[in-house]
Amino acid sequence: MEADAATAGEPAGDAAATALRARLAGLAPEGGTGVIFSFDATDTTLTWLPGLDAVLGLPGAPGEDLCEQLLALLRPLTANLRAVLPARDFELEQSLETATGQPRRIRLRARTVGERSRTTGLLGVVYAVPDEQPGKSELAELADRYRVLVELSPDAICVHEGGFVSYVNRAALDLLGAGSAAEVVGRPFTDFLTDGSAERLAGGVRALTEPGAGTGTVEAVLKRVDGSKLAVETITVRTSGENTPSFQVVIRDVTGRRAVADALRTQAALVTHVSDAIIATTGAGIVTSWNPAAAAVYGWSATEAVGRPAAELVGAELDPEAVLRAGGVVEQAHRNRTGTALSVRVSAAEMYDGYVLVCADETARRRAEQRYRTVVGALDEGVMVMGPTGRLESANPAAGRILGLTPADLIGVPSTMLALFDEAGAQIPDEELPSVRTRRTGLTQNGRIARWRRPDGRDVWISVTSRLLDPEDAAGATAVVSFTDITERRSISARLAHDATHDPLTRLANRTLVLDRLDRRTHCQASTVLFLDLDKFKLINDSLGHSVGDQVLRIVGERLRHAAGAEDVVGRLGGDEFVVVTQAATEDGEVRALAGHVRAVLAEPIVVHGRQLHLDASIGVVLVGPDDQRSAEDLLRDADVAMYQAKALGGGRFELFDVTLRERMQRRLRLEQDLREAVHNGQLWPAYQPVVDLRTGEMVAVEALLRWTHPKHGEISPVEFIPLAEESELINVIGKFVLRSAARELARLRAERGLDLNLKVNLSVRQLDDPGLVPAVRDVLATTGLPPGSLCLEITESALMRDEAAAAAVLASLRELGVLLAIDDFGTGYSSLAQLRRLTLDTLKIDRSFITGIAESRDAAAIVTSIIAMAHAVDLTVVAEGVETAEELALLRELDCDQAQGYHLGRPAAAADLFR
């Protein structure tokens, strides 16, 4: 507080005088008479012993005048008193005019007093300088006052000459943490600066060439005597000439100021940006401050609000004292400028000149709480709250509906009474229940799958999540448990998992599951693989239709399931090919008996649609020893070879795979050599199968299918020679041949006949690995004249999934050429929606196995519907393969399939026949 705001006190009594004299030892003038005084900086009280009026030359003057005069004399000492440490002595000589108008010199000796490092006042002696003592000149008085001011300055002041410290004031000693000037004076000034700060200050000092020249404010880091560091601001002034330059440095500790500034900025930002209305008022309730949130809540701008009664602005009585009496926080109903009712929580705090009110608008929160209760009550998800005692405190209607209990039955029930079972069927221990674990560990339990037995006996599968109601509650007293009924989803998931590994027509294991079981066979135990192919089944399909054929396949699957043992694997690999894997028959006699039994079971007459049919099968058998290292694919391949041998021998029999089949392998080798020659001898040629737009019925594309006319064997089925080509690099040569031949032929037909048709060409797995594929496609487009957008390259799903990253790179390069890309045989692999998006395809071809019998199979129709929806979701054109009947075609139109191909729409034919 300013010293000139002090008030005069009564002159001190005798006891006080004695105490003061003891504390002022060493300050009394030698041989002179002085008056002891005391100045209390806390309440700005000034007291003195009798005789002050005589010392000041103001005999009989009132106390107020004496106080005012003494304060004026002491002002150089009291101006920065709080910045000086206790027990520091000062001497000051000043002039004043006595009551008679004569000048008088007054000398003051004072000592700072206080507790620890906090100065609370001054004790001192004031006396008149005897007339016989020579007075000081004005310059000397000025110097004297300057010295006192420097000593009392709250800023540290240091003088260095020639780079060495020659003087430090008391504030500098405090700032440096020195006990005396001896610890500092005589040392290089740079000892008290960090290297970077010394360089920065030296640069400024070099620019000071004349006495009186000074630097601006320079920031620096000061090194104290104990090695600690402070952030400071410095101003350097040159005080002497050229011979021995002297510099005075004013050093100010800005650590606290920066902290205060940061705090003030933070507080200002909080007040400005806080969402609560902050209102400052006088004691009479007049607004002195109104933050933006207050303007937003109540609709009055700060300009309108300041100076008006707060109660008028908030639309309610606002008594800060009443709020304080109520504990500092109350709930009130306010109204904004438009009269809208507000629910407000008011907090009050007293200031030195009024009050600060924090008005939190809880209207939205309370409305939200009501809505939250409504929403929780309407949720299909069960929500329960487990309290600190482990008992259920609340439950929404969905919780009761899922658990088969009413919420009233649940309230108060211990969580351990709600028995849950894991997926293995074991009861989850009490300490492992989600709510118990959450309250014990504080950790959220997400998606725990459990089974609950309802009172009605029905089992419900639920996905349980448990979390703390208040994450800040370290004790974890209350947990919120939410759960959803996943019974149906789990059933669908199980059904989809079953569908993914089972043939949709016969419900037997599909190729994927058969291979998986073979891969996971126990190698220390022998087993047997039977590969069955129905003889002349194609005749049934062609003569009686695929619906009859499908029914026959279902019956065959059922008979095989009953003929095999309970632990055997029975599967359908596709078409009329079946497989049985058993470990019950491994000896030669046992295997022969099993094969004969299977044939006998299949040979029993089958009646379908009033027709009696007789079947037989060709069976290939592979005996798998305990140490057999063949893979699952190898075993099926070998069983397939043995089956073809049985067919070659007339069918209706079984053959064991052994060394006698090497001749067949040799024939395959010869056929492969003939295929190499066929590429160069014109034996290979492309046939074209129409692809029809299901919306317009027009042919929009043709698929090029390779055909081989062997000079000796005639027409060789692609089923026979394509696998041969796939097993060697020959497929790359053949693939490029087909691509070039078909592109050239279709480009010519497009030009001659004005056809607007796309060409679809299959790419094999081996072609995707061929580094020459992309250059070959680029060359074909350049030399044949076929537009890139008219060429669609089809890749099987299994090829894409074999090495997705490599396939994606190849497809990206092909995409850059402008050609279209399609995924073929979709549904036979493991591709997903995410993979289809990453591969940037244009067309998806549904495998014929999903189309066959779709008109009679709800499951097949559901799967195809899902595939079409998934493909359309990523903007793929959907083509259905293997359309054999008008019913299938009509159903595909209803399912919004885009295009189709199959025998019902047109068989593969040479270009001359197709475009006749």
DSSP 29: P
Residue labelled with tokens 């043992």? 565
301-353 confidence digits (pLDDT tens): 999 999 999 999 999 998 899 999 888 899 999 999 999 999 999 999 888 78
User: Which pairing describes strands 899-900 and 684-693: parallel, antiparallel, or unpaired?
Assistant: antiparallel
pLDDT band at 8 (very low <50, low <70, confident <90, very high): very low
621-671 confidence digits (pLDDT tens): 999 988 888 889 989 988 988 898 888 788 899 999 885 675 666 667 788
Number of helices and strands in the chain (H, E) = 33, 37
Q: Closest by alpha carbon to 466, among 484, 479, 453?
A: 479
Round the CA-based radius of gyration of the chain to a whole number and report it: 51
- Which helix (DSSP H) or strand (DSSP E) does residue 589 occupy? helix 588-603
| 112-116, 424-428, 776-780: the lowest-pLDDT one | 112-116
The dihedral of CA 719, 881, 833, 767: what is its sign? Answer: positive
pLDDT band at 743 (very low <50, low <70, confident <90, very high): very high
pLDDT band at 365 (very low <50, low <70, confident <90, very high): confident
pLDDT (0 to 100) of residue 909? 94
pLDDT (0 to 100) of residue 254? 83
404-415 confidence digits (pLDDT tens): 888 778 888 888
Q: Percent of the chain having pLDDT more than 90?
A: 37
In whole angstroms, give the CA distance from residue 467 to residue 105.
82
pLDDT (0 to 100) of residue 260? 67
697-706 confidence digits (pLDDT tens): 999 999 999 9
The runs of H, that is alpha helices, within 455-510 are: 487-500
pLDDT (0 to 100) of residue 72? 86
pLDDT (0 to 100) of residue 4? 38
Q: Closest by alpha carbon to 795, among 783, 803, 785?
A: 803
pLDDT (0 to 100) of residue 775? 95
Q: Closest by alpha carbon to 109, among 16, 23, 7, 175?
A: 23
User: Is pLDDT of 509 > 90?
Assistant: yes
DSSP 757: -
User: Is pLDDT of 742 > 90?
Assistant: yes
Helix orientation angle between 730-753 and 718-726, rounded to the nearest 10 degrees: 120
pLDDT (0 to 100) of residue 5? 37
User: Is pLDDT of 31 > 90?
Assistant: no
- Which residues, listed in sequence order, are joined to residue 699 by a DSSP beta bridge? 692
Q: Are 622 and 639 in contact, with CB atoms under 8 Å apart?
A: yes
E strands within 387-526? 392-395, 445-453, 459-468, 479-485
The dihedral of CA 184, 186, 189, 194: what is its sign? Answer: negative
336-367 burial, b for 16+ CB within 10 Å, e for fewer?
beeeeebbbebbbeeeeebbbbbbbbbbeeee
Cβ atoms < 10 Å from Cβ of 815: 17
155-202 confidence digits (pLDDT tens): 889 988 888 888 888 888 988 999 888 888 889 999 999 988 888 888
pLDDT (0 to 100) of residue 20? 55
The runs of H, that is alpha helices, within 389-510 are: 397-403, 407-410, 434-441, 487-500
Structure tokens at 293: 């949130």
| 246-250, 387-391, 573-577, 897-901: the lowest-pLDDT one | 387-391
pLDDT (0 to 100) of residue 910? 93
482-497 confidence digits (pLDDT tens): 999 988 888 888 888 8
pLDDT (0 to 100) of residue 15? 57
User: Is pLDDT of 461 > 90?
Assistant: yes
In whole angstroms, give the CA distance from residue 202 to residue 709.
98
What is the pTM assigned to this prediction?
0.35
Q: What is the average pLDDT value for the chain, to the nearest integer?
A: 85
User: Is pLDDT of 131 > 70?
Assistant: no
Average pLDDT of span 251-280: 75
Structure tokens at 130: 């005897």
pLDDT (0 to 100) of residue 621? 93
The dihedral of CA 654, 660, 665, 671: what is its sign? Answer: negative
Average pLDDT of span 53-67: 91
Q: Are 110 and 121 in contact, with CB atoms under 8 Å apart?
A: no
Average pLDDT of span 802-813: 84
| 2-11, 68-77, 544-553, 717-726: the lowest-pLDDT one | 2-11
The runs of H, that is alpha helices, within 25-158 are: 52-55, 63-78, 138-152
Higher pLDDT, 9 or 200: 200
Average pLDDT of span 896-913: 94
| 275-284, 466-475, 497-506, 768-777: the lowest-pLDDT one | 466-475
